[in-house]
Chains A and B, each alone.
Chain A
Amino acid sequence: MSYEMIAILMFSTMMLMLMTGQRVFGAIGFVGVLAAVFLWGTGGSDIGFSAAMKLMKWYPLLTLPMFIFMGYVLSESKIADDLYKMFHVWMGPVRGGLAIGTILLMVLISAMNGLSVAGMAIGATIALPELLKRGYDKRMVTGVIQAGSSLGILVPPSVVLVLYAMIARQPVGQLWLAGVFPGLMMAAMFILYVVIRCRIQPELGPALPEADRDISREEKMKLLRAGLLPIVIFATMMVPFVNGWTSLVESSAIGAITAFVAAVVKGRMTREVFENSVRSTLGISCMFMWIILAALGFGAVFDGLGAVKAIDDLFTEQLGLDPWMILILMQLSFILMGTFLDDTAMLVIVAPLYVPLVKVLGFDLIWYGVLYTITTQIAYMTPPFGYNLFLMRAMAPSEVTLKDIYRSIVPFVAVMILALTLVMIFPQIALWLPNYVYGK
């Protein structure tokens, strides 16, 4: 049997196993070790465990539990409530202002956290009921919150980019910096969309009535202090890191501790919040780590087969496609897979397959990291299976139906695809900042 055939067989077996609904890490790990034993006999039986040692030695992975913990502390303790209030008062008088404020809130939360869960939780539990009460269109509001919270994985610190860095063997620091401008650009595009939409259809996002705006200047200024929290947390993480005093991992621990201390100082760290954050952190960390463990084993077999070279040959030699065509096809298939694959699984399955191919094709892997993340964001939101969609359903008030949620994301996905295209055409959007900072 040729190596291409074995590779295709492995991949399709894995898809089949995943369809059965067994735990993702079990399905991937099973195919990986089975193929290893089948191909290399007793020598191959060590591949599963070598992956565990490889995982242990991959130092930046420690940021994962730190950011997960931080996210849970931020969302469970509700220390971000004041932030919402700040945007509410300051942006309220503008048409669609509360929606714009929500997007800005999401940007700030993204800068404190590397996953989209925290932003989602804060948006759905604090912003959503408030916006609905003010007569905002429910579809626009749910769309705003989902799109905004997905920024969490693009704006540094980002857990997805940490995982990508591991697979692509690229420096995390540069990847994070590469995510800054695309993230801000995307946020600006979301805001622009809301502004234009509310100009055409003012009923979608009415400005706050006079009575609600009657807040003294002094009071308004006082609210601005809430904005200090994300700045402080972001600064305690990023300043020592950028100055080279601490490593990335140490910074993430400092960030987690700062968030924890902030919650304690504000008196929000109750017994229940503590228990929930610590327990959920274990659950989510284990979920990620075991999948990575299995995927590393699977990837090692795949590498051993030289499968990537075979696939590359198939595309460039036999089908005669040029690299850009292949890249576009890859992104399209990625989005397509995202619509029916579980997102976490997709993350660790797709990257080991695509990243080496991108490298063989001669593209910049830092730049591709940003494309990869934006595509993951889109996948997070596209029905029928999207992490954000389900979280939204679980957290939103009952008047928002699943159909509303599905419909709400359409314009935002269009905006995101536009952003993806822009970054593809103008790589400088992503690469300027890391090149400037690292002086390439």
Chain B
Amino acid sequence: MPVILKLYIRLVDGFNRRVGRFVMYGIFVMMAILLWSSFSKTFMTPSMWTLEMAQFAMVTYYILGGPYSVQMGSNVRMDLFYGEWTLRQRAMVDAMTVFFLIFYLAILIHGAVGSSAYALGHFGVEPYSFYRDLVWAFLTGGKEAANEVLGYIERSPTAWRPVLWPIKLIMLLGFILMLLQAVSELLKDIARIRGVDY
């Protein structure tokens, strides 16, 4: 296998592993938020931010943790036939069917790009050029110029009214990492077909 591909696998797997091992402690963040929520509800005025904060924590937890769960092999497969195959046969089928996954992730990413642009105030149908303009404005004119490009910032329709772009960007990042991981799995399968152990 070319060195560059080996490097890709090492980088992507290593990075996703670290991200996953970091967000895995998010379970305690969720617990803390919910504990505070019940505490404040019982003894003080209920906090407004806990419900949505817990939801944001959960989304971060499972989306950024996704690639690591793929590495751990936690994602169930229907093993009616799969379970009977040899490792090589599995790698061959996986190397083809992983494109279903890649297609699905690509559509998810496309949706996330559009929705994040909407959250930043772009209501048109050209989210990619919106980002290009945004980055270009920031590079040439600094923060103020970038502010010009931004439109009405989307907020959640609740009492707390948090802005929604951070969580949408986290989701976008998670889907991209998942896509990188899927490609890494594909490369590993190709290596296995060629008899290299991975």
Contact A285 B61 (CB under 8 A): yes
Of A26, A45, A283, the contact of B72 (CB 8 Å cutoff)? A283
Contact B27 A281 (CB under 8 A): yes
A contact face: mostly helix, strand, loop, or mixed: helix
Report if A330 contacts B (CB, 8 A): no
Report if B167 contacts A (CB, 8 A): yes
Report if A273 contacts B (CB, 8 A): no
Contact A50 B78 (CB under 8 A): no
Contact A254 B38 (CB under 8 A): yes
Q: Which of under 10, 10 to 19, 20 to 34, or 35 or more describes the interface residues of B? A: 35 or more
Binds A, one of B7-15, B107-115, B128-136, B138-146: B107-115
Number of A-B contacts (CB under 8 A): 195
Task: Please give, as numbers and ranges, the residues of chain B lying within 8 Å of A287 by CB-CB distance.
Answer: 69, 74-76
Report if B62 contacts A (CB, 8 A): yes
Task: Please give, as numbers and ranges, the residues of chain A lying within 8 Å of B35 by CB-CB distance.
Answer: 250, 253-254, 257
Task: Please give, as numbers and ranges, the residues of chain A lying within 8 Å of B193 by CB-CB distance.
Answer: none
A33-B103, A282-B23 as given contacts; A250 in contact with B69, CB under 8 Å: no
Task: Please give, as numbers and ranges, the residues of chain A lying within 8 Å of B38 by CB-CB distance.
Answer: 240, 245-247, 250-251, 253-254
Contact B76 A342 (CB under 8 A): yes
Q: How far is the CA of A69 from the CA of B24 in the complex (A)?
A: 11
Residue interface bits A44-79, CB-to-B below 8 A is 1, else 0: 011111101101110101100110010000000000
Report if A385 contacts B (CB, 8 A): yes
Task: Please give, as numbers and ranges, the residues of chain A lying within 8 Å of B41 by CB-CB distance.
Answer: 245-246, 250
Task: Please give, as numbers and ranges, the residues of chain B lying within 8 Å of A290 by CB-CB distance.
Answer: 62, 66, 69, 75
Task: Please give, as numbers and ranges, the residues of chain A lying within 8 Å of B37 by CB-CB distance.
Answer: 250
Nearest residue, chain B, Cβ from A294: B104
Nearest residue, chain A, Cβ from B23: A282
Residue interface bits A240-264, CB-to-B below 8 A is 1, else 0: 1000011101111110110000000
Contact B42 A249 (CB under 8 A): no
A46-B111, A246-B38, A286-B66 as given contacts; A65 in contact with B98, CB under 8 Å: no
Of B24, B51, B82, the contact of A279 (CB 8 Å cutoff)? B24
Q: How far is the CA of A42 from the CA of B41 in the complex (A)?
A: 44
Contact B58 A65 (CB under 8 A): yes
Task: Please give, as numbers and ranges, the residues of chain B lying within 8 Å of A62 by CB-CB distance.
Answer: 30, 34, 54-55, 58
Q: How far is the CA of A289 from the CA of B69 in the complex (A)?
A: 11
Within 8 A of A (CB), among B85-106: 85, 90, 93-94, 96-98, 100-101, 103-104
Q: How far is the CA of A24 from the CA of B110 in the complex (A)?
A: 21
Contact A21 B58 (CB under 8 A): no
Nearest residue, chain A, Cβ from B182: A26
Report if A318 contacts B (CB, 8 A): no
Q: How far is the CA of A257 from the CA of B97 in the complex (A)?
A: 41
Of A21, A24, A27, A52, the contact of B81 (CB 8 Å cutoff)? A21
Query: Could you say which of A29, A34, A69 has the most chain B C-beta atoms within 10 Å of its C-beta?
Result: A29
Query: Could you say which of A18, A32, A52, A341 has the most chain B C-beta atoms within 10 Å of its C-beta?
Result: A52
Report if B183 contacts A (CB, 8 A): no
Query: Could you say which of A247, A253, A385 has the most chain B C-beta atoms within 10 Å of its C-beta?
Result: A253
Of A24, A257, A289, the contact of B31 (CB 8 Å cutoff)? A257
Contact A29 B114 (CB under 8 A): no
Q: How far is the CA of A56 from the CA of B162 in the complex (A)?
A: 14
Of A21, A32, A240, A286, the contact of B69 (CB 8 Å cutoff)? A286
Contact B97 A20 (CB under 8 A): yes
Report if B59 contacts A (CB, 8 A): yes
Question: In the complex, what's the smallest C-beta–C-beta distance from B146 to chain A, in angstroms?
Answer: 24
Task: Please give, as numbers and ranges, the residues of chain B lying within 8 Å of A201 by CB-CB distance.
Answer: none
Task: Please give, as numbers and ranges, the residues of chain A lying within 8 Å of B115 by CB-CB distance.
Answer: 46, 49, 53
Report if B79 contacts A (CB, 8 A): yes
Contact B75 A25 (CB under 8 A): yes
Of B59, B62, B107, the contact of A37 (CB 8 Å cutoff)? B107
A21-B81, A289-B62 as given contacts; A282 in contact with B24, CB under 8 Å: yes
A56-B58, A245-B38, A286-B66 as given contacts; A69 in contact with B27, CB under 8 Å: yes
Nearest residue, chain A, Cβ from B96: A20
Within 8 A of A (CB), among B36-59: 37-38, 41-42, 51, 54-56, 58-59
Task: Please give, as numbers and ranges, the residues of chain A lying within 8 Å of B58 by CB-CB distance.
Answer: 56, 61-62, 65
Report if A314 contacts B (CB, 8 A): no
Contact B66 A385 (CB under 8 A): no
A46-B111, A46-B114 as given contacts; A22 in contact with B30, CB under 8 Å: no
Contact A345 B76 (CB under 8 A): yes
A-B contact pairs, 29 of them (CB 8 A): A20-B97, A21-B83, A21-B94, A23-B76, A24-B76, A29-B108, A48-B104, A49-B111, A52-B108, A52-B171, A53-B115, A56-B55, A56-B167, A59-B51, A62-B55, A62-B58, A65-B27, A65-B62, A250-B34, A253-B31, A254-B34, A257-B35, A283-B68, A286-B62, A286-B66, A286-B69, A289-B62, A290-B66, A342-B79
Closest A-B pairs by Cβ, 6 of them: A49-B111, A21-B82, A283-B74, A26-B101, A253-B34, A286-B69
Q: A48-B107, A66-B30, A279-B24 are in contact. List 13 more A-B contacts (CB 8 A).
A: A19-B80, A22-B97, A29-B108, A49-B114, A49-B171, A56-B58, A56-B59, A62-B58, A251-B38, A253-B35, A278-B27, A290-B69, A342-B77
Chain B residues within 8 Å of A, Cβ to Cβ: 20, 23-25, 27, 30-31, 34-35, 37-38, 41-42, 51, 54-56, 58-59, 61-63, 65-66, 68-70, 72, 74-83, 85, 90, 93-94, 96-98, 100-101, 103-104, 107-108, 110-112, 114-115, 125, 167, 171
Chain A residues within 8 Å of B, Cβ to Cβ: 17-27, 29-30, 32-34, 37, 42, 45-50, 52-53, 55-57, 59, 61-62, 65-66, 69, 240, 245-247, 249-254, 256-257, 278-279, 281-287, 289-291, 294, 340-342, 344-345, 385
